[in-house]
Amino acid sequence: MYDDEFELTFDMAEDNAETVKLPGKPLQPAPEAPEAPESAGKAKEPEVPDFPDDEPTIVIPARKPREMPKQEREPVRAEPVPELAPAEVKAPEEPAAAPEAPVPAIRTNGRTVLISGGDRGIGAATAKAFYEAGYRVAVFYHKNAEAAAALEKALPGCTIVQCDVASRASCELAFHAVEQALGRVDVLVSNAGIAQQKLFTDITPEEWQHMLDVNLTGAFNLCQLVLPGMIRRKAGRILTVSSMWGQTGGSCEVHYSAAKAGLIGLTKALAKEEGPSGITVNCVAPGVIDTDMMAAFTAEDKAALAEETPVGRLGSADEVAKLLLYLAGEDAGYITGQVFGVNGGLVI
Q: What is the residue type of 100?
A: E
Do residues 242 and 285 touch, judged by C-beta distance below 8 A? yes
Catalytic residue among 131, 135, 256, 334: 256
Helix (H) or strand (E) holding 113: strand 112-116
* Long-range CB pairs of 268-273, under 8 A, 24+ apart, other chains included: 268/337, 268/339, 270/223, 270/238, 271/336, 271/337, 272/337
| CA atoms of 324 and 241, how far apart (whole Å) | 9
256 is catalytic: yes
Q: Can you name the residues that pair with 139 across neighbouring β-strands?
A: 115, 160
Q: SS3 sequence, 132-184?
A: HCCCEEEEEECCCHHHHHHHHHHCCCCEEEECCCCCHHHHHHHHHHHHHHHCC
Q: Can you name the residues that pair with 240 across neighbouring β-strands?
A: 190, 283
Residue 329 falls in which region: left (phi positive, over 0), alpha (psi -120 to 50) or beta: beta
Using alpha carbons, list the distances in angstroms from residue 271 to 136, 240, 328: 24, 11, 14
Task: Output phi, psi for 285, to 5 deg.
Answer: -115, 95
Q: Which positions are annotated as active-site residues?
A: 256
